[in-house]
A = this chain, B = another copy of it.
């Protein structure tokens, strides 16, 4: 049984920091992405996403497919993620133009579905006979999964069932292939599993649950599947290694899994579904596996920014404690997936660390993924950038110094859009008698259990959170682990019940006012000496925000800065800087740059103030040095 669930989309109406981001998605990101999908954006690589669906629609009618298919094998998912984000956005900011665009696109998608329920433009246009012959690489189930998520979101947002019906029909088809006809196998890129769980929750359709169970329970049991599949097919997308089951998260039955391995986005999408299924079916064995995987990620393989998947080689987890700041991969999508996983872990068990990580990923890597103006995006999120090395030499080619525009492989931008637009689902949860406040998000929430709540806060820059509550039951407020102390008042009186697993439970009846004040003191953070790349280094944080040092604020040179961890850190509210932020002034020393590479004379050091900005804001002022971790005295 689930401890608690996400709130409905639309139950949360944002204010403040989150509202500004949601407006950015609504006003800038979604319109731009719509142009891209329709090949109308300038200076952008052709997307062809909508045209693929139009051409597939011709194919299912037996007509000429025009200019055919173009793009990645998973190109369809860009449309799905856009619809999903648009759906969330429509609940935040009703917009008839956007809704019309989505309706029209859904009509086009529906017309591209084959009579048997199959829906995928790549195979429908290119070669119907190759359907389901390359689960390893071809992303059919991945694309279906994203379209299922879009369908659920759009139905929840608008009440319109057209896409949901399309995807239920698609589910029937998948059920027929995998359950009735016993095709065998599991998707190379997990995603359909978590989508099927969403479909099940929304529709109650048991086939959705059965399919999710099938994909999760069969994975890793038949370790020769991809090898046999490779042998049986005459074609390949990328020539993926069919024998690298560890990379595919299929080396052991998932319930036996000990370590998070392989492609990091795929991993967390899969683990999300596992956690979801475990909560839904009260499967403690499966939840235990999820806990081991959670620990493998968050206790041994995660950057302080909530970034995961440290290596560019396969966009993957590498090994425990291998967390290089400068060659980090740390894909934006992987941190979004980690938030999904955390959110589903909370459904199994209320533990503050799940929400802590969700917050850590969101305010650092996820937000860093998008330029402050919403126009450019990072796929890769390094914790150190040195112009001349980063983005340039072979080992650092993937770590760009500036956010590029739209990608041919455009997974991250729409993923940020759908996450930000549905932020309330991660921030708040509920069950029959309790309202759960996981993240501190200003705005109003109407819980299905009858509790209504208004949250006022300037989080993540100020740490007083005021909840005005109407209704009876209890409010569970998370106390973040980073807050070394806090005060809590209920209706003006100090409330001293201790937190249990990171949450304080406050009984409420009628009108209540809860004021939580968290620790606003900036802090140094230290890494475990098990992480080779971080020995001798420290970084600075305030609240949930990890900070970084950019050249722009530090005379162009952050490499010669060393932090004085005996010294102070001062938080400075600066309305001019980057559109308004809190800068940290940190006591430091600057090492003189001398001739030559090495010297026996200790280079002179002079005291100075190092200036740090929130990590998520880096790279918004042109190319310059950036470091999260600095050496410490």
Contact = CB atoms under 8 A, between A and B. Distances in A.
Interface in A559-605: 559-560, 562, 565, 591, 593-603
Interface string A363-391: 00000000000000000000010101100
Interface string A83-127: 000000000000000000000000000000000000000000000
Interface stretch (A195-203, A504-512, A528-536): A528-536
Contacts of A452: none
Interface string A470-484: 000000000000101
Given A311-B395, A388-B320, A482 B600 contact: yes
Contacts of A601: 526
Contacts of A393: 311, 313, 318-319, 322
Contact of A318 (B327, B394, B532): B394
A525 B562 contact: no
A632 B537 CA distance: 10
A529 B602 contact: no
Return the 10 tightest CB-CB contacts between A and B, nearest first: A536-B631, A529-B560, A313-B394, A523-B600, A318-B393, A529-B591, A536-B536, A529-B559, A535-B631, A386-B532
Given A523-B600, A631-B536, A593 B528 contact: yes
A484 B600 contact: yes
Contacts of A30: none
Nearest to A392: B319
A527 interface: yes
Contacts of A299: 595-597
Interface residues of A, number: 63
A570 to B, nearest CB: 17
A251 B591 CA distance: 36
Interface in A531-562: 531-533, 535-537, 541, 557, 559-560, 562
Contact of A559 (B388, B392, B535, B565): B535
A299 B596 CA distance: 5
A602 B531 contact: no
Contacts of A321: 388-389, 597
Contact of A395 (B300, B395, B484, B632): B395
Contacts of A324: 395
A364 to B, nearest CB: 12
Nearest to A531: B597
Contacts of A535: 559-560, 562, 591, 630-631
Interface in A307-323: 311, 313-314, 318-323
Contacts of A70: none
Given A304-B597, A535-B559, A602 B528 contact: no
Contacts of A633: 633
Given A395-B313, A633-B633, A603 B388 contact: no
Contacts of A453: none
Contacts of A175: none
Contacts of A314: 394
Interface in A294-349: 298-300, 302, 304, 311, 313-314, 318-324, 326-327
A524 interface: yes
Contacts of A541: 600
B603 A529 contact: yes
B322 A389 contact: yes
Contacts of A560: 529, 535
B597 A302 contact: yes
Contacts of A524: 600, 602
Contact of A311 (B384, B394, B531, B532): B394
Nearest to A395: B311
Interface in A455-499: 482, 484
B536 A559 contact: no
Contacts of A602: 524, 526, 565
